[in-house]
Amino acid sequence: MDRTQFLLGISVALFSLGLLGVIVRRNVLVMLMCMELMLNGVNLSLVTFAQQTGTTAGAALVFLVFVVATAEIALAIPIVLLLVRDKRSLDTGAYNDLKG
């Protein structure tokens, strides 16, 4: 097992753990944090591939992911605040009436 394989394994494991958290957890804030974990896993794979190929494209993409993550949180937290004010709960089961 070389270093690239080890780091890609870690990044896949982090992405899968984040996806698992989004699927199985019921708390909205924990689900948001699991999404951040998925983005972190992707960032690790981008840095690993950029280091393997010696180009700056991966590092530039990591910076763009930083911006997207920040924008996502800045927008998601006010929406969660509104939902909690309306339903008085962080549990996703309370938001069943949002189903389309």
Write the DSSP assignment of 27-73 as a string of letters. Answer: BHHHHHHHHHHHHHHHHHHHHHHHHHHT-SHHHHHHHHHHHHHHHHH
Q: Nearest distance from residue 54's CB to another protein, in Å?
A: 3
Tell me if 98 contacts another protein by CB under 8 A: no
Token reading at 4: 């690239």
Q: Does 36 bind another protein (CB under 8 A)?
A: yes
Q: CB of residue 100 vs another protein: minimum separation in angstroms?
A: 19
Contact status: 51 vs another protein (CB under 8 A): yes
Q: Does 35 bind another protein (CB under 8 A)?
A: no
Q: Are 34 and 22 spatial neighbours (Cβ–Cβ below 8 Å)?
A: yes
Does the protein bind another protein through residue 85 (CB under 8 A)? yes
Q: Which of 54, 96, 97, 99 binds another protein (CB under 8 A)?
A: 54
List, in sequence order, every residue forming a beta bridge with 91; answer none if it has no partner.
27
